[in-house]
């Protein structure tokens, strides 16, 4: 689906040794990131990890102490499009309370040097896409929280930016709106370079082509969600419930027999086995247990999630 | 125990609401200081011009010139209780101009037949010796100077004639001051008060964008600080003008009669609005939220309301003189010049030639306020790189 009247040139974003210090504290520490053309990059990190500072530098709102941000190999200010190539949807709902949806959309369009007519056409189109066309003439303060959130995203897109930075786009949305939003963002990718910052791992997993995890100002890991889930942590989990505790010697022999097991723990009658590919290993695993004379009453499987990866990398400790 | 907990919580919150606490406890002492600086720096010193139009008389043996003698007498007068200086002025026009520009508080005109009347009185003819006093009847200091003028001149006449109640004086109002009542006199100040009240609405308009974070969208759109501020300023000038015209309309309905040049009136109002908007920009650069504006803004608002002449006349030490117009300490507040210029236009029917120094001061202060405000606001709220 072609969402816009005109498409700008696709943009590739690179950061080179991007660094920002606030006094003694290093908020962003030599970050090297690449966001490819048409890619959605999930930018994940705990509170205070340096996400917002990095994003502000990418947007040109904050001057790096070291390093640079390049758009198609050039610094932002040297590009003819300048800041117009960026569309930003902040975490908070940022809109003018006493302007109607259409008024503020066209206003922002005009701020980006669009003619009033083009601005109006785009505004109506985007409001329609966001399910807000019927609310066009309603003041923003009278919209529900979910509608304001959708308006927040629409405002970032009026000027048809090739780069989109979405900060927690699904925060505060009901399930229906989340589905609509996800579809919308997916449709935007391909023609647009998108950076998605979120704490919602499910959102990042579903939407991102690649994920970068940042903590204490440093990038800890970058990769596709699947790769991260396979390569990081203790793998997928198989939970077997025998109704009674298993003898220790059976558990020990399981560890010896199956080298692919990354972690094995017990809790009362339950046995938790973490391994990278449980579907492949499960038949042999069950055969071994049955042969030892035990039969699980219940078997559950849970895939390693991005949240597991995130916790594994950033730890469970709360950020200071 | 709950009471102690409440006390502890209230105390902690109060300490941490830094601006509110500081302003609450320092505002009254600060105003005492400002009041001292404005009033104590200008000790009362009444200035009265004496215009001698007397025609001296020639007799066989001598020249009778009581006018010149009176001028000499007055020049030696010293009054420790009520300091007054009588100065010689070459003609009436010069003396009137000095009243208009507030160089002097009043004038005494010794008329052409002054010596003749005294001579007749001395020879037993029942005539009263005339003299004239003049000034801006709306000025408090004129009233004091008039009383002192009458006291000294009548004393002199009584002494040289050797009689009592031997004088007759007339009082002439400068400009239209005789036609004005207290209500009418208050109107120029109240018209400027309408612009002073812009301070809150204007500062809030500047601060609302950063507070609501919509400034982020404007910054991302490459909007220039100057463009944004110009847009807001134009609307605020219109709001200010609307407020002034509404004030003028209500005043007219209640008996105020507009006189003077409408164009000069509008020029003064627009310049005063601009200067207040410029000052609001400084305030906006110092604050982040509407709540902060309401707290911090009270201080300059009260200062502009009560110490720039909007509510009652104020005087202050002269810092410098421009085209005969004294730039005083209260003149650091732009509205002072707006009020003075409006009084000149509405009371004295002054033209541009008479009020250009006030216009220059207003424009200069507006530019200074805007430059400081622009720098401060941009640094605080619109800085991008």
pLDDT recorded at residue B13: 80
The predicted structure's pLDDT at residue A4: 45
Phi/psi of residue A27, nearest 5 degrees? -80, -40
CB < 8 Å from B in window 61-100 of A: 61-63, 82-84, 86, 88, 90, 92, 94-97
Contact A94 B222 (CB under 8 A): no
Q: For A257-277, how does the pLDDT look when each residue is reduced to its tens digit (9 = 90+)?
A: 888 888 888 888 888 888 877
How many residue pairs bridge chain A and chain B with CB atoms within 8 Å of each other? 42
Among candidates A63, A86, A97 on the partner chain, residue whose Cβ is nearest the Cβ of B220 = A86
From B187, B136, B180, B176, select the one nearest B342 (Cα to Cα).
B187
Model pLDDT, residue B125: 86
pTM of the model: 0.74
Averaged pLDDT for residues A117-134 = 93
What would the 3-class secondary structure string for chain B be? CHHHHHHHHHHHHHHHCHHHHHHHHHHHHHHHHHHHHHHHCCCCCEEEEEEECCCCEECCCCEECHHHHHHHHHHCCCCCCCCEEEEEECCHHHHHHHHHCCCCCEEEEECCCHHHHHHHHHCCCCCCEEEEEEECCCCHHHHHHHHHHHHHHHHHHHHHHCCCCCEEEEEEECCCHHHCCHHHHHHHHHHHHHHHCHHHHHHHHHHHHHHHCHHHHHHHCCCCHHHHHHHHHHHHHHHHHHHHHHHHHHHHHCCCCCCCCHHHHHHHHHHHHHHHHHHHHHHHHHCCCHHHHHHHCHHHHHHHHHHCCCCCCCCCCEEEEECCEEEEHHHHCHHHHHHHHHHHHHHHCCCHHHHHHHHHHHHHHHHHHHHHHHHHHHHHHCCCC
Task: Calculate how close chain B gets to A317, using CA atoms only, in Å.
Answer: 30
What percentage of residues in chain B have a pLDDT greater than 90?
A: 42
Q: Is the pLDDT of residue B141 over 60?
A: yes
Contact B212 A94 (CB under 8 A): yes
Q: Is the pLDDT of residue A3 over 50?
A: no
Residue B38 pLDDT: 66
For residue B221, which residues of chain A lie inside 8 Å, CB to CB?
83-84, 108, 111-112, 159
Mean pLDDT over each residue of chain B, to the nearest integer: 87
Task: For residue A76, give the chain B residue with the closest CA.
Answer: B385
Residues B200 and B203: their CA atoms lie apart, in Å, by: 5
Q: How far out from the chain centre does Cα B378 lie? A: 33
Q: Is B212 on the interface with A (CB under 8 A)?
A: yes
Chain segment B197-234, per-residue pLDDT in tens: 999 999 999 999 999 999 999 988 888 899 999 999 99
Q: How far is A87 from chain B (nearest CA, A)?
A: 8
pLDDT at A77 over 80: no
Span B56-68, average pLDDT:
82
Q: Mean pLDDT highest for which of A39-48, A230-239, B20-29, B135-144?
A: A39-48
**Mean pLDDT, range B34-56, rounded to an integer:** 79
Q: Is B227 on the interface with A (CB under 8 A)?
A: no
Q: What is the mean pLDDT of chain A?
A: 85
* CA-based nearest residue in chain B for residue A90: B216
pLDDT band at residue B42, thresholds of 50, 70 and 90?
low
Instruction: Name every chain B residue with its beta carbon within 8 A of the beta carbon of A61.
Output: 216, 219-220, 384-385
Whether B221 sits inside 8 A of A94 (CB atoms) is no
Residue A6: pLDDT band with limits 50, 70, 90: very low
């Amino acid at each position: 689906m072609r969402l816009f009247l005109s498409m700008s040139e696709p943009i590739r974003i690179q950061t080179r040794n991007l660094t920002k210090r606030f006094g003694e504290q290093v908020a962003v520490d030599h970050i090297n990131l690449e966001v490819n053309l048409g890619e959605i990059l999930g930018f994940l990190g705990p509170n205070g990890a340096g996400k917002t500072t990095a994003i502000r530098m990418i947007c040109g709102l904050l001057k790096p102490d070291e390093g640079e941000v390049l758009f198609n190999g050039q610094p932002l200010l040297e590009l003819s499009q300048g800041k117009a190539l960026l569309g930003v949807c902040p975490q908070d709902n940022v809109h003018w309370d006493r302007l109607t949806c259409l008024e503020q959309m066209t206003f922002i369009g005009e701020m980006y040097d669009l003619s009033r007519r083009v601005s109006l056409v785009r505004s109506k189109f985007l409001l329609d896409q966001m399910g807000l066309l019927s609310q066009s003439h309603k003041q923003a303060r009278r919209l529900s929280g979910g509608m304001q959130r959708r308006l927040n995203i629409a405002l970032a897109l009026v000027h048809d930016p090739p780069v989109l930075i979405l900060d927690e786009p699904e925060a505060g949305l009901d399930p229906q709106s989340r589905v609509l939003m996800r579809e919308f963002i997916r449709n935007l990718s391909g023609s647009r370079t998108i950076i998605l910052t979120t704490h919602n791992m499910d959102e990042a997993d579903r939407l991102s082509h690649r994920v970068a995890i940042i903590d204490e100002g440093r990038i800890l890991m970058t990769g596709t969600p699947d790769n991260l889930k396979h390569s990081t942590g203790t793998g997928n989990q198989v939970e077997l419930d025998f109704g009674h505790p298993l003898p220790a010697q059976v558990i020990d022999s399981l560890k010896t027999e199956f080298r692919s097991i990354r972690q094995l723990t017990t809790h009362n009658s339950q046995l938790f086995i973490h391994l990278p590919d449980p579907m492949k290993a499960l038949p042999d695993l069950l055969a071994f247990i049955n042969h030892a004379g035990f039969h699980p009453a219940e078997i559950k499987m849970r895939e390693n999630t991005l949240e597991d990866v995130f916790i594994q990398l950033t730890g469970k400790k709360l950020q200071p | 125990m709950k009471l102690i907990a409440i006390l502890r919580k209230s105390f902690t919150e109060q300490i941490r609401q830094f601006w509110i606490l500081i302003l609450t406890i320092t505002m009254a002492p600060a105003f005492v200081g400002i009041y001292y600086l404005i009033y104590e720096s200008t000790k009362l010193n009444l200035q009265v011009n004496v215009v001698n139009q007397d025609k001296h008389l020639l007799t066989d043996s001598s020249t009778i010139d009581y006018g010149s003698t009176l001028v000499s007498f007055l020049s030696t007068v010293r009054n420790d209780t009520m300091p007054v200086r009588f100065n010689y002025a070459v003609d009436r026009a010069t003396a009137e101009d000095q009243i208009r520009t507030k160089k002097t508080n009043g004038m005494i005109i010794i008329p052409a037949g002054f010596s003749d009347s005294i001579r007749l009185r001395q020879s037993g003819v029942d005539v009263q010796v005339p003299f004239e006093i003049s000034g801006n009847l709306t000025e408090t200091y004129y009233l004091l100077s008039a009383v002192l003028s009458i006291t000294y001149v009548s004393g002199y006449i009584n002494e040289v004639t050797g009689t009592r109640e031997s004088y007759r004086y007339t009082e002439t109002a400068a400009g239209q001051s005789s036609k004005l009542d207290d209500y009418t006199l208050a109107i120029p100040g109240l018209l400027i008060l309408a612009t002073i009240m812009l301070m809150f609405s204007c500062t809030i308009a500047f601060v609302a964008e950063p507070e609501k974070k919509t400034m982020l969208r404007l910054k991302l759109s490459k909007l220039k600080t100057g463009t944004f501020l110009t847009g807001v300023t134009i609307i605020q000038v219109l709001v200010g003008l609307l407020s002034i015209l509404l004030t003028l309309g209500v005043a007219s309905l209640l008996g105020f009669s507009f006189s003077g040049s409408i164009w000069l009136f509008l020029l003064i109002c627009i310049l005063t609005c601009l200067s207040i908007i410029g000052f609001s920009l400084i305030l906006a650069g110092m604050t982040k939220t509407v709540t902060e504006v309401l707290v911090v803004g009270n201080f300059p608002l009260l200062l502009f309301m009560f110490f720039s002449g909007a509510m009652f006349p104020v005087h202050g030490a002269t810092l410098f003189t421009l085209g005969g117009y004294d730039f005083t300490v209260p003149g650091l507040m732009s509205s002072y010049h707006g009020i003075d210029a409006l009084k000149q236009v509405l009371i004295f029917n002054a033209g541009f030639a008479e009020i250009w120094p006030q216009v220059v001061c207003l424009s200069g202060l507006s530019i200074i306020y805007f430059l400081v405000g622009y720098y401060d606001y941009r640094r605080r709220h619109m800085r991008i790189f």
